[in-house]
Each structure stands twice: as structure tokens, then as C-alpha cells.
Amino acid sequence: MKRMRMFVLGLALAASALVGAASSAFAQVPVGMELGPKVGAKAPAFSVISSSSEMKSFETLKGRQGLVLVFVRSADWCPFCKVQLQDLNSVAKDLDALGWPMVAVSYDPTETLERFSTANKLDYRLLSDPGSKAIDAFGIRNESVKGSARFNGIPHPLIIFIGADGTIKAKLYEQRYQDRPPSGLVLETAKGLG
């Protein structure tokens, strides 16, 4: 029995190593590559659209400490983004209370974002970036899918903390698009920024 458990454990570890090796071949962010503007740099000007078709900018979105800006690939077809958006909902009210309101941005149409937000009872806003203009302003468009009608314009997933003064205070992202920073880390980062 013990020998069988060790064999199964060995198979599980081997399978895990193979999956990890295969997944790393599809990494979205090359090792050593920094996503978006550098910490300390001024955030680029951007505008996105709310579900009520209002143009929103940093000035209209920020709280007393700043803004947590979450870029996701899609709330429509990306399962990793859907899980992340639901997970972030657990800290949205806490972030807002700290003066760091959070918004998520994707190239999805406002109707898609509103449908997802309503279905998941989100406590923060999902905003549309038609034409991926904000995504491009932050320099995070995923060029590896260029030319694909469905994926053209998606960003590398990234969470940016923009201080009230408009400077980038912190960034959170993972090398693989399948991995996302956990909501607890997002909250702790905001607390650490004051």
C-alpha cells in the first residue's frame, strides 16, 4: 500500500512538472520584462467608458489615496480573468475604504462588462477600453496575438496602483497570464502604500 502511494505521488509530481514545463512555453511575459510604466513614473493619461456610456479618466475615478487599475484580457471569454474579477470583489470595499477605489479595464463592450458585473454582484466597476487605447497608453498590449480578430487588443494582465498625484506607486503581475496576484496581496499592497 505504501509503495502504491509513493508511485501515485511520483506520477503526480512528474505530471505536474510536465504541465509546468509546457505552460512556461506559453508564458505571456518574457522573464525579466517589466510590464507597463516604471514605478515612480507619471501614469499616462487615459479614458475609458462606464456602463452608462460616460467617459471616465484618472481624475474622475481616483480616491483620496489614488486608484487601483486592473487590466484584464476579457470578462467574456477568459476563464482566468473571470476568476480574478470574482476574487478581487472580496477586497473591493476594503480598498475603497482605504482610499484606493478599484476599477477593472478590458476591451470588452460595456454590455458584456455590465452583464458580468451584475451576474457576479461586483462591488467595483468594470470599464470598457474600445480600441484598446488605454491599454496602448500603458504599453501593455499583448502583441503575440496581433492579427487575431478575437484577441487583438488584449492586454497583458496587470494591476497598477496610481497615487493621487498621478504617479505609479506599485504594480502587480505574474509571468504567465494564467496566474494572477491574489486579492489578499492587492489589499496588503494598498495598505503598505498608506
Please report whether residue 24 resides in a domain.
Answer: no
Can you tell me which residue has the cell 492587492? 186
In a domain, 20, yes or no: no
Number of domains into which the chain is organized: 1
Say if 101 falls within a structural domain: yes
C-alpha neighbours within 13 Å on the C-beta side of residue 1: 0
Residue 135, domain member (yes or no): yes
In a domain, 104, yes or no: yes
Residue 27 pLDDT: 34
Per-residue pLDDT, 148: 79
Residue with cell 496581496: 185
CATH code, domain with 55: 3.40.30.10
Range with the poorest average pLDDT among 9-23, 34-48, 53-67, 91-105: 9-23
Report pLDDT digits (tens) over 112-170.
999 999 999 999 999 999 999 999 999 999 988 877 788 989 999 999 999 999 999 99
pLDDT > 80? residue 28: no
What pTM does this model have? 0.83
Q: Which residue carries 497608453 as its cell?
A: 137
113 inside domain: yes
81, 109, 89, 112: which is closest to 180 by C-alpha? 81
Instruction: Tally the C-alpha atoms within 13 A of residue 16's C-alpha that lie toward its C-beta.
Output: 6
pLDDT band for position 30 (cuts 50, 70, 90): low
Distance CA 135, CA 125 (A): 17
In a domain, 128, yes or no: yes
41 inside domain: yes
- Residue ranges making up the domain that contains 176: 32-193
